Every structure is written in C-alpha cells, then in structure tokens.
Copies of this chain bind each other. A is one copy, B any other.
Amino acid sequence: MAQVDTPITRTTEDFLAPARIALRGVGQIMFQGHAGTGLFFLAGIAMTSPAMLAGAVLGAVIGPLFAHLAGYDRRDVEQGLYGFNSTLVGLALPALLLPSHPLTWAADVVGCVLATIITRLGIRFLRFPAYTAPFVVSTWLLLLAIHGAMGHSIDAPAPPPAVEEGGFWAAVLRGESEVMLGANQMSGVLFLVGIAISNPWHAAMAFLGSLVGTTVGVYHGDPEADVSIGLFGYNGALAAIALFLPRPSLTLPLLAAVISTPLTEYFPKELGIPALTAPFVAASWIMLAALWAERRLFVARD
C-alpha cells in the first residue's frame, strides 16, 4: 500500500518560520536558539533605545537572509547561528554612531553582512567557537573606516561618567543589560527571564557571571561610575554561559567570569575604540585553551 504524500500547503507555520529564525538569532546572543528568548531580548533592547531596536531587527533579518541566499548550512541558519553577530552589529552601530545620520545605517547594513561572512569563516575554519568575535571585528573595522573617512564627527556623544543608583545588585543587573550595550536594570531582568524560559541553568550562569565579574571589579577598586553601569558584568555573564556549555559545572564558568574582569580593565584604552565583547571572547578562548590542554595533553599522559 503506497504512502500518500500530503500536498504542500502554505500554513501559518510557514509564514512564521522566517520570523522564528530571526528571533532565534537574537536569542543566540546569549546562546539560546529559542525564539521566545529573542522576543524578551528585543523587549529589553527597546527599553534602551528605539534606534537600537531598529538596528537589532535589521541585523536579525540581514544575517539569516544573507546566509540563506549564500547557501550556508541550512541547519545552522535555522538555529540562528547566523543571526546573533549580525544582530549585535545591527544594534551597536546606532548606539555608537548618530542614529540620525544616514551613513550610520549604511554602515549598519554593511556591518551585518560582514559579520555574517566572518561567522561563516569561523564555522568553516575554526575548531572552536568564534563566539561574538565576528561582531567585534566587523564593528571595529567599520568604526575605524568611518573614523578614517570622517573623523569622530558622527560618533554618538558619550554620556558623562556618573555613578548610577542602586548599588551592587543594580550593577549586576546592568551587567546583563550591557551584553546588548544597554545599562538599565529592567533590560537586565528581561534578558535573564528570556534566557530562563529557554534554559534556567544558563540564566543562573548569566547572573552568577555578572555577579562575579562585578565583584572582582569592586574588589580591585575600579571606578564606581564604570562598575555601576555594569561594565564589569557583561563579559562575565557571557563567559560563564560559554564555559557552562562544554561541561555543566560551576568552576570553569566562574573562573572565566573572574578573568573577564582584568581583560575588561586592561583592554587597551589608546585604541580609542570600545572593547565591545572582546574581553568575553578572550576570556572564553583562554579558558577553552586551558581546558583543552588539561584534557588532551596532560590527562592523557598520566
């Protein structure tokens, strides 16, 4: 008895699929291939600035779309792996440059595509995760190009340094928010809840990572104005989840969060360019290298 193929019909599901992929890409900013997480993240970004929300949506669309057109691995596209770097570029440039200037948005589109291509190179050639390195590299290149061409004329004005209210725990929550270049507690809460609906352990790691990173910053006597906006939390939050992925534990994630703070502190100031999530990437790569060395080289020789 022959099996009858169901006729192909366009259902609501089909129309929603691209949106779901775009949202998964947003969720992947904090390692969640979950569209619901992406929605929470967009809500948190909206609380920071409408221009950044627009940029995030732009990036969330461009990344997977370009990857699809370029014929990158379908499963990777569907999991949002081509979305998160593009989304980060998308929201970062309108935060670092004047959103009112057309060049900002031209650069944004170019940056999103560039981040997607670099993401592809990472997946193809690296034997370890690139994390948000494609976002960092693309954004740096575009900022350097714009500074080279136009000086700092379209840079968004930096807020004057001031200690934010709310003390330690507010700084920890702002650390979550800073993952997407925000600095408000409510975004931080939305990000944590968004992660938790996908994976509560990862939410716990994000919280502990920001807690540890901020604690080290306070203990090292870093400027209160920097601590209070969550500057020593976001890299720790990301690094803690990143090191939780290869093996669920506390030791490696918390150690990664610890070393993210010196890396944030000593990010070379003379570059005149923001660190973005480079300290997270560096901390995680260092820990992965240590973990790899400990396992492959040393344990095997015992």
List residues of chain A with CB under 8 Å of any chain B CB. Answer: 201, 215, 218-220, 247-251, 262, 266, 290, 293-294, 297-298, 301-302
Contact = CB atoms under 8 A, between A and B. Distances in A.
Nearest to A254: B290
B248 A298 contact: yes
11 contacts: A201-B297, A215-B262, A219-B262, A247-B298, A247-B302, A248-B298, A248-B302, A250-B293, A250-B294, A250-B298, A251-B294
The oligomer's copy count stands at 3
A294 B249 contact: yes
Nearest to A204: B293
B248 A297 contact: yes
A249 B220 CA distance: 29
Given A219-B220, A220-B219, A298 B262 contact: no
Nearest to A289: B250
Most buried by B among A201, A215, A248, A266: A248
A131 to B, nearest CB: 21
Contacts of A220: 219
A37 B293 CA distance: 25
Contacts of A218: 266
Contacts of A251: 294
A250 B215 contact: no
B302 A250 contact: no
B301 A248 contact: yes
B290 A250 contact: yes
Nearest to A249: B298
Nearest to A291: B250
A42 to B, nearest CB: 30
Nearest to A248: B298
Given A248-B298, A250-B290, 12 more contacts: A201-B297, A215-B262, A218-B266, A219-B220, A219-B262, A247-B298, A248-B297, A248-B302, A249-B294, A250-B293, A250-B294, A250-B298
